[in-house]
Chains A and B, each alone.
Chain A
C-alpha cells in the first residue's frame, strides 16, 4: 500500500488531495501507467509528464525511481516558491 498525494492543479484534476493505492508498481513510471488506466481524470492529469514533478518519500525523484519500500509518492506541477 502506498500513500499517493496530489498538489495544485494535479489535485484539482484528480479531485482529491491523497489516496491509498494498492499497487505492485516497480517504479514511479509504472505507478503512473496504473493510475492513467483507471479513469479519464487520471489520464488527463498525467497526460504530459514534462509538466509534472514527483517526490518519493518527500524527496524529489525521477520517473524511473524505484518504489520498493516506499511509503509516499507525491505528484505536482513545477514548484513556484519564493
Chain B
C-alpha cells in the first residue's frame, strides 16, 4: 500500500512499474483523474490539510485492503496549481481477479471525493469559485 500527496506531476509508467508484482496478481485497475476545461476553466488550485491528508487517505486505503482481496493499492493525489489536461490524482489496485480490483478502485474514488481533505478552487471567465460538494458524491458512499 502506497499513498502520496504532492504538488509535482506524476508519471503513470513510473508509478506502475513493479506495482502488484508480488503475489499472484491477475488484475490491475488504474483510474486517473484529469482537469477538464469545462465552462472555460483556465486553471485550478487545490488546497489540502497537510497534517491530515496522508493519514485520511491511508485510512481509506487500509479499509480497501481489508474489504477486498487486494495484493496492493496505490493512491497519488496532487495539490497546488493545475491546468486543464493535468493529472490530478490516480488510484491503482492489484488483485488475483478483476472484480475485487474494480470494486476497490471505485470505493477508493468515492471516498477520496468526500473524505480526503482537499478543496478545489476553479478559475474561469467569471472569476474564481470554490467547487461545491455534490449530494450525489455523499450518496455514493452509502453503497459501500
A: residues with CB less than 8 A from B are: 5, 7-9, 11, 55, 58-60, 72, 74, 76-82
- Pair B117/A7 contact, Cβ less than 8 Å: yes
Q: Which of B47, B114, B119, B120 has the most CB of A within 10 A?
A: B119
Q: Can you show 15 pairs from A to B with CB atoms below 8 A apart?
A: A8-B119, A8-B121, A11-B47, A55-B52, A72-B51, A77-B132, A79-B113, A79-B115, A79-B117, A79-B119, A79-B133, A80-B113, A80-B114, A80-B130, A81-B118
Residues in B lying within 8 Å of A, measured CB to CB:
33, 47, 49, 51-52, 55-56, 77, 88-89, 109, 112-121, 130-133, 138
B residues near A5, Cβ cutoff 8 Å: 49
Whether B51 contacts A58 by the Cβ 8 Å rule is yes
With beta carbons under 8 angstroms apart, the residue of A55, A59, A72, A80 that contacts B133 is A80
Chain A interface secondary structure, helix, strand, loop or mixed?
A: mixed
